[in-house]
Structure 1
């Protein structure tokens, strides 16, 4: 039986699907524990390169009570930050990809181990998303930290 936090996260995630009941049913039976969900309805996803993304998350954590959901792909080579719908179409940033209306993302079942994509920050089930302005500021700070760290290397 799913714990209440997982259940509310699942309900919120599948609410983005064209057919939430079918999505939930398929997702729960999928041996890989992943589903394809459309971006642009409940959220967009900004996808950052791994080192910048992880450092950005490190900057965000002390700034926010709770950032929005964050995904990491296999090997943490990319991190996806869930932001309000419409953000991806307006975002301009070198090395940052956006998944918005018309795109689909691979989403792991909350609380279930998968062989690839995983949650670094689980959805809270209430629709909390990362404010894109705060995310952009955190990215600037993170980029400065990454450059400073590279400058320290011999």
Structure 2
């Protein structure tokens, strides 16, 4: 493992019951996915993959921190790593956002759950998970990678959902918000 991979592996290993044993096993098999407990070094927001991908594009356009995210290759879901402690606040964040469709609200998992993540040096094919956005020590504080802000994430997930939902599935308020956004994004002629 390179120095960068070693530091990231140490951070991920902190989310296992035996960090030293996990690190030793990962040195032997750095390409294989890992199963990590949530709520220790990160919580996980789970949402439809297309919504997460578009939300990450929006976050980047707004020049917000875009932390690690995982795409599940055998599902239509993706998971965003967010700071630990997000899960108990998630419902309030969604309620306070412009999330208009309560049927498809993303879920946040904290303590008591686990998630499978790709190895730091992932396999090229036939794996159940891959990085949508890899963790990086370049955007880190110490050896901890920066994680996506849950406040910004929920706003961008709501915006992405609004953009991707067909008009016939939206309620009248959702259609109005989309129409206003479209007008605001269109260059004005003077």
Question: Which TM-score bucket, shorter chain as reference?
Answer: 0.7 to 0.9
Task: Count residues in correspondence.
Answer: 149
Report SS of the residue matched to 1:91.
Answer: helix
Q: Report 1:10-49 matches (<5 A).
A: 10-30=9-29, 33-49=32-48
Q: Given the superposition, is the C-alpha separation of residues 28 and 99 from structure 1 closer, same or farther in structure 2, using an over 3 Å criterion?
A: farther
Q: Deviations over 1:42-93 (max 9, x none)?
A: 1100011122111111111222364111011014611111111121222125
User: How far is the alpha carbon of 1:25 from its aligned partner?
Assistant: 2.2
Segments of 5+ residues of structure 2 without an aligned counterpart are 95-103, 138-143, 168-190
Cα pair 1:49 1:95 within 8 Å, conserved:
no
Q: Distance in 1 between matches of 2:64 and 2:149?
A: 12
Q: Given the superposition, is the C-alpha separation of residues 36 and 135 from structure 1 closer, same or farther in structure 2, using an over 3 Å criterion?
A: same
Q: Distance in 2 between matches of 1:38 and 1:75?
A: 21
Cα pair 1:108 1:119 within 8 Å, conserved:
yes
Q: Distance in 2 between matches of 1:83 and 1:128?
A: 9
Report SS of the residue matched to 2:145.
Answer: coil
RMSD, aligned α-carbons: 2.3
Structure index of larger Rg: 2
Q: Given the superposition, is the C-alpha separation of residues 63 and 120 from structure 1 closer, same or farther in structure 2, using an over 3 Å criterion?
A: same
Segments of 5+ residues of structure 1 without an aligned counterpart are none
Q: Report 1:1-154 matches (<5 A).
A: 2-30=1-29, 33-64=32-63, 66-75=65-74, 77-92=76-91, 93=94, 94-113=104-123, 115-125=127-137, 126-147=144-165, 150-151=166-167
Cα pair 2:65 2:147 within 8 Å, conserved:
no
Cα pair 2:65 2:149 within 8 Å, conserved:
no
Q: Please, what TM-score do these two structures have when normalized by structure 2?
A: 0.69
Cα pair 1:46 1:96 within 8 Å, conserved:
yes
Report SS of the residue matched to 2:162.
Answer: helix
Q: Please, what TM-score do these two structures have when normalized by structure 1?
A: 0.83
Cα pair 1:86 1:100 within 8 Å, conserved:
yes
Q: Distance in 2 between matches of 1:81 and 1:12?
A: 16
Report SS of the residue matched to 1:118.
Answer: strand
Q: Distance in 1 between matches of 2:57 and 2:108?
A: 21
